Structure 1
């Protein structure tokens, strides 16, 4: 079950980015001026990239900052979650 959750955390947002970009590339070009930024977001911070594109049209204000912080925490959690497991496994 844990492997399934980890797989969804890694593949899910990236698949969403690709599908959303294919169907609504105008919104992506409006949110990002340079093509390199969303590509780096796709690789390193997919949840944050999705959240930014979602809230960009109205501007980043108020509770939008909270959504971005939650997205950053989800990205960091998907990278750091395996370290705790690895430490626990190596002790056995």
Structure 2
């Protein structure tokens, strides 16, 4: 397959990636248009899914404005890190200036249920912990 070549002798893929591409320029001023990218990396999403407390702490340190906008004081995110890390992390990520709306609450409730399931699983497995009273020693 051959690449399409325009009249200047360069292929279209190179032209689109070029700094001199006219589609990058603003129609009014001719200056480059700066678009805000708010991408969350896949590695961080995986990391935060496995370790939500550490993920929320990293968000709090790296992007304090996200946490400050979502909560009025520092005590709520701190309690969230301790007791409901998934729900707190989801709340911070999904929070917009006007709060949460519609389907956002589904993700918060799902994250809260995951947090409660984590606490429940720990409670049901408590007898397997070494040194727990009432366990028989061999």
- State whether TM-score is above 0.5: yes
Q: Which residue of 2 aligns with 1:3?
A: none
Shift of 1:87: 6.7
What is residue 28 of structure 1 aligned with on the other side? 67
1:47 corresponds to: 86
Shift of 1:83: 3.2
Displacement after TM superposition at 1:86 (Å): 4.6
Give the root-mean-square deviation of aligned CA atoms: 2.3
Unaligned runs of at least 5 residues, structure 1: 1-7
More contact order relative to length (CA 8 Å, sep ≥ 6): 1
Structure 2: how far apart are the matches of 1:84 and 1:63? 32
Structure with the higher fraction of residues in helix conformation: 1
In structure 2, runs of 5+ residues without a counterpart are 1-46, 129-134
**Cα shift readout 1:33-86 (whole Å, capped 9, x = no counterpart):** 111111000100101100111111163111111101101101001100133345
Indicate the residue corresponding to 2:8 in structure 1: none
Indicate the structure (1 or 2) with the bigger Cα radius of gyration. 2
Aligned residues: 81
Moved over 6 A (4+): none
TM-score of the pair, normalised by structure 1: 0.76
